[in-house]
């Protein structure tokens, strides 16, 4: 029988890797942690299959556009061989010469298969400013793509 706390630690590490892979556009590392049947539900409601998702992953983070990025308020729930990893990301993007701040909540669904957790689905939801999570819940922070101590 698997250890619940070890699973929670493994999923938290995978979540941190997921975020780092995005900020560093690391397709190879990201490819290794998502399931062959992975799907992403974007904040606009579009559905992206694995191949399209990984293609976009290579260029989606531009440190000259995304000036600030953090992950905060991580929650992990485990249901046998399925886990939900939920957190918020706060970002500052430079759009048309102006800095725009926003927050996105994501829920990643993981499945335990062949002795490891793999992400089978990611879902992104925009967060209204009145529901922004406090800075005290920051887990990791990047400025212009560089992880801050």
Model pLDDT for residues 52-84, shown as the tens digit of each residue: 999 999 999 999 999 999 999 999 999 999 999
Largest CA distance in the chain: 54
Model pLDDT for residues 15-43, shown as the tens digit of each residue: 999 999 999 999 999 999 999 999 999 99
Model pLDDT for residues 92-134, shown as the tens digit of each residue: 999 999 999 999 999 999 999 989 999 999 999 999 999 999 9
Task: Characterize 132-147 residue by residue with b for buried, 16 or more Cβ atoms within 10 angstroms of its Cβ, and e for exposed.
Answer: ebeeeeeebbbeeeee
d(CA 37, CA 14): 18
pLDDT at 1 over 80: no
| Joined tokens for residue 20 | 């780092």
Question: 31, 54 in Cβ contact below 8 A?
Answer: yes
Per the prediction, the chain carries an average pLDDT of 96
Give the model's pLDDT for residue 2. Answer: 80
Please state, in angstroms and as integers, the Cα–Cα distance from residue 108 to each residue in 30, 84, 89, following that order: 13, 6, 13
Helix (H, G, I), strand (E, B) or coil at 142: strand
Phi, psi at residue 90, to the nearest 5°? Answer: -105, 140
Which residues constitute the domain of residue 29? 4-147
Q: What is the CATH number of the domain that holds 35?
A: 3.10.450.50
d(CA 120, CA 34): 6
Please state, in angstroms and as integers, the Cα–Cα distance from residue 17 to each residue in 63, 114, 130, following that order: 18, 20, 29
For the chain, the domain total comes to 1
């Amino acid at each position: 029988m698997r250890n619940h706390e070890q699973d929670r630690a493994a999923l938290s590490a995978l979540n941190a890797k997921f975020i780092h892979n995005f900020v560093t556009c690391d397709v190879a590392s990201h490819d290794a942690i998502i399931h062959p049947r992975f799907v992403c539900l974007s904040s606009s409601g579009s559905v992206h299959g694995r191949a399209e998702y990984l293609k976009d992953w290579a260029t989606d983070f531009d440190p000259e556009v995304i000036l600030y990025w953090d992950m905060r308020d991580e929650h992990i729930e485990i249901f046998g061989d399925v886990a939900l990893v939920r957190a918020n990301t706060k970002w500052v993007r430079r759009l048309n010469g102006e800095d725009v701040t926003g927050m996105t909540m994501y829920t990643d669904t993981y499945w335990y298969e062949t002795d490891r957790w793999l992400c089978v689905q990611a879902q992104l939801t925009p967060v209204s400013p009145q529901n922004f999570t406090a800075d005290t819940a920051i887990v990791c922070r990047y400025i212009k793509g560089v992880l801050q101590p």
